[in-house]
Amino acid sequence: MSDYNFAYLDEQTKRMIRRAILKGVAVPGYQVPFASREMPMPYGWGTGGVQVTAACLMPSDRLKVIDQGADDTTNAVSIRRFFQRTADVAVTSHTHEATLIQTRHRIPEAPLREGQILVYQVPIPEPLRFLEPRETETRRMHALEDYGLMHVKLYEDIARNGTIATSYAYPVMVAGRYVMDPSPIPKFDNPKLSGSPALQLFGAGREQRIYAVPPYTGVVSLDFEDHPFEASKAPHACDLCGDDGSYLDEVITDDRGGRMFVCSDTDHCDCRQKAGHRGRLAMPETVQ
Amino acid sequence: MYVAVKGGEQAIDNAHAFLAEERRGDPAVAELSIDQIREQLSLAVNRVMAEGSLYDPDLAALAIKQARGDMIEAIFLIRAYRTTLPRLGQSRPIDTGAMAAIRRVSATYKDLPGGQVLGPTFDYTHRLIDFALMADGEAPQAPTAAPHGAMPRVSGLLDAEGLVEAEPFSNTEPPDLTRTPMELPANRALRLQALARGDEGFLLSLAYSSQRGFGRTHPFVGELRIGEVMVELDIPELGFSVEIGAITVTECETVNQFNGSKTQPPQFTRGYGLVFGQSERKAISMSLVDRALRWEELGEEDTGAPVQDAEFVLMHADNIQATGFLEHIKLPHYVDFQSELELVRQMRAGASEHQEAAP
C-alpha cells in the first residue's frame, strides 16, 4: 500500500508520539498529553493503541492483536488487518512469537519477555475521572499526589458491600508515585502488570493521553491492610483445555441454564489443547 | 456444543459487501452522482465541510454518498482523510469585510450601509411540502441584481461610537487544535476553533439553553453574512501573498448587552461565529455559545449553566469523538462483564449468608 506512509502515520506524527512515549517511560504512570490524530477507525475503538503501535512498529516486527484475549474477535481482526495493509508486518496469534502485542481488556496468560511491547487500548485514562469529572482538577490531584478521594471511594465500597466493588479497570499505584488506570482489564490480570520484563504502553486516542509502565516496574493494586487486593476469576477450570488458572469467559450454551467456561486467552487455550490437555467438555474431534 | 469462535474475518468481509449493496439500493434506480449531491444537497455538503474541517465540496459530496447520507459518518470520513494531508502553509486571515455577500441581514438596524440582503433563505418560505418537486420540472430562475460591493460590518459601526467592546488586537499565533492536545483553560481562539468544528446539534441545544435562561446572554444578531471570501497565502520566496482560491463562509456577530464592570463602562459585547459554507444555524449557535463562554473575562456571574462551562462544552462538542466512544460500547465486553458477573454473584452470596445468619 503505497498511498500512505509506513504504518499509516506520517513520520512527524510518529516522532511526536514517540516523544510522548519516552516521557511516559521516564515518568511511569504519568498521563502524557499528546496531539492524537483522527484515525480511520472510530474513537473508542482503539485509536490510542493504534497510534502507539504505529509509532513503535518496525518492518521487522511481528504483531499480535487481541480483544477480550482473543485474536479473532472482530475489532482485533480489523486492527490487525489495518497494520497488515499499511505496514505489511508479519502477524501471529502466538504470544511468545510476537514482538508487539496490541490488546484490549486483557493481558496474555503466557508470561511476557524482555524486548516485547504490550500496547493497551484505553478508553478513559484518568483513574479519578468518575470521582472528579474535571480534567483541570484531576491533573492537580495527581500533581499533589492527592489520592485521598480514591481511598475514600474504596473504603466506602467496603463499608457498603464488604468488598471493593471494582472488578475491572482496578486502580493501581505505579512505582510508588502515580495512581493509574490499567485500562479495563479484569483485576485478575493486575498482578501481571508488576515487574513485567516487557514494556507496557497505554494509548488513549480520544482523551489524548499516553502513559507507560517500563519493564520491571513495581505496580501495586490499591487496597487496605485488612482488606487485601485479591485477583479473582470464575471458580472453574476451562472446559476445553482444563486449565484452572486462566481467566475464563462464560458461554451460555442453551436457554435452560446450561453454560460452560472457556479460556478468554484463545492462544493459551489452543496451545494447551495441542499439548494434549483436555477439559470437561472437550471432544477429541474438536481438537486438531 | 461450543467450539472457540472463528470466522471474524469472513464475517467482516461479508458485512462490508452487504453494506455496499445496501448503499447502492435498488439497482433499477439511477445511481447518485457526486455532482448531483454537490449541487442539489449543498447544505448537507456544507455541514460535512464545516464539521469535517476541510473545504472541498466534491470530497464532501463523495463522503455523503459513501456514508449513505449519514452526516456524522461522512464528517468522520473527511476528518480521517484530512489528517493525512500535508500542511503546505498557513493562509492569511480571511477578510469577511470584503466578502461578496449573497446574504446579509442585521436584526439591530432597519437599514444600514449595504442594505439588508435576504439571499437564498428558507426564512420566509411556508413549510408546505412542494409536491411539484416530485416531478422533474424546469430549472427555476431567480431575478438577478448587480453584485454588492464590500459592506461595512455592524460591529464596526458600533465600534466607531465606542458602544461595543474593542476587540483586542493580537499577533500571537493561535493554538492549533489539530496539532496540539486540548489544554484547559482554553483561550478564545482555541475555543472558537473547537466550536467551528463542533456538532451543529450540540451547539444549537447549548445556544438554545442559554436563550431559555441557563446562562442568559441577551443576544441580538448584529449581523449575519454569507458569501465568498478570498483565501490568500504568503509565499516567502516571493515576499508577497497570492490568492489561492475562494471559499464560502457564514459569519455571525451577535451584540449582547453588558452592564459594565469595575474596569469596563456599560457597553455592548460580542459573540462570534464563523463556519464554512452556508450554515446559518451553526454560525448563530456558535456566536451565542462563544459569548456565554466569555463570562469570566467579562466579570459576569457563573450561574452553573452548562453553556458557561468551557470544559463541559469543549470536551463534548466534537461529534466524531462522541459517536466513537458512544458506539464503542457495542464492541465485545465479555471480559469486563464476566468480572462483574463474578462480583455480583459473590456479593449476593455474601448478602444471603448475612441474612441467614441474622436472627
- What tens digit of pLDDT does each residue of B123-140 get? 999 999 999 898 887 889
In a domain, B347, yes or no: no
My answer on whether B208 and B160 are in the same domain is: yes
Mutation for A interface: B83, B176, B335, most A CBs within 10 A: B335
Q: Which of B32, B55, B82 is the last residue of a domain?
A: B82
Q: Whole domain around residue B15: which residue ranges? A: 9-82
My answer on whether B55 and B182 are in the same domain is: no
CA distance A155 to A131: 13
Count: domains in chain B: 2
Could you identify the residue written with the cell 516571493?
Answer: B238
Q: Is the pLDDT reported for residue A143 higher than 50? A: yes
ipTM for the complex shown? 0.84
Q: Is B6 on the interface with A (CB under 8 A)?
A: yes
Sheet holding A219-221, edge to edge: A178-180, A172-174, A219-221
Report B:84-113 residues touching A (Cβ under 8 A).
84, 86
pLDDT class of B258 with cuts at 50, 70, 90: confident
In a domain, B88, yes or no: no
**A184, B336: Cβ pair inside 8 Å?**
yes
My answer on whether B173 and B247 are in the same domain is: yes
- What tens digit of pLDDT does each residue of B32-46 get? 999 999 999 999 999
pLDDT at B7: 62
In a domain, B245, yes or no: yes
My answer on whether B73 and B116 are in the same domain is: no
Q: Is B182 on the interface with A (CB under 8 A)?
A: yes
My answer on whether B39 and B104 are in the same domain is: no
Q: Is the pLDDT reported for residue B88 higher than 90? A: no
> Could you tell me which of B314, B299, B32 has the C-alpha nearest to residue B181?
B314
In a domain, B132, yes or no: no
My answer on whether B237 and B107 are in the same domain is: yes
Q: Is B357 on the interface with A (CB under 8 A)?
A: no
Q: How far is CA A84 from CA A8, A92, A117, in A?
A: 11, 11, 18
My answer on whether B212 and B73 are in the same domain is: no
In a domain, B335, yes or no: no
CA distance B332 to B338: 11
Prediction pTM value: 0.90
Q: Which of B56, B82, B108 is the last residue of a domain?
A: B82
**A247, B2: Cβ pair inside 8 Å?**
no
Q: How far is CA A97 from CA A115, A188, A253, A275, in A?
A: 11, 24, 33, 17
The average confidence (pLDDT) of chain A is: 94
My answer on whether B154 and B19 are in the same domain is: no
In a domain, B60, yes or no: yes
My answer on whether B75 and B102 are in the same domain is: no
My answer on whether B157 and B75 are in the same domain is: no
Report A:114-133 residues touching B (Cβ under 8 A).
123
In a domain, B135, yes or no: no
My answer on whether B67 and B163 are in the same domain is: no
- What tens digit of pLDDT does each residue of A176-235 get? 999 999 999 999 999 999 999 999 999 999 999 999 999 999 999 999 999 999 998 889
- What tens digit of pLDDT does each residue of B203-222 get? 999 999 999 989 877 789 99
Which residues, including other chains, have CB under 8 Å from residue A66's CB and lie 6 or more apart? A73, A76, A101, A102, A103, A104, A106, A108, A265, A266, A267
In a domain, B275, yes or no: yes
* Chain B residues lying within 8 Å of A106, measured CB to CB: 335
**B79, A47: Cβ pair inside 8 Å?**
no
My answer on whether B164 and B21 are in the same domain is: no
Catalytic residue among A24, A46, A203, A269: A269
Q: Is A56 a catalytic residue?
A: no
Q: Is the pLDDT reported for residue A3 higher than 90? A: no
Q: Is A263 a catalytic residue?
A: yes
Of A36, A253, A262, the CB nearest to B4: A262
pLDDT class of A124 with cuts at 50, 70, 90: very high
Q: Which of B30, B56, B82 is the last residue of a domain?
A: B82
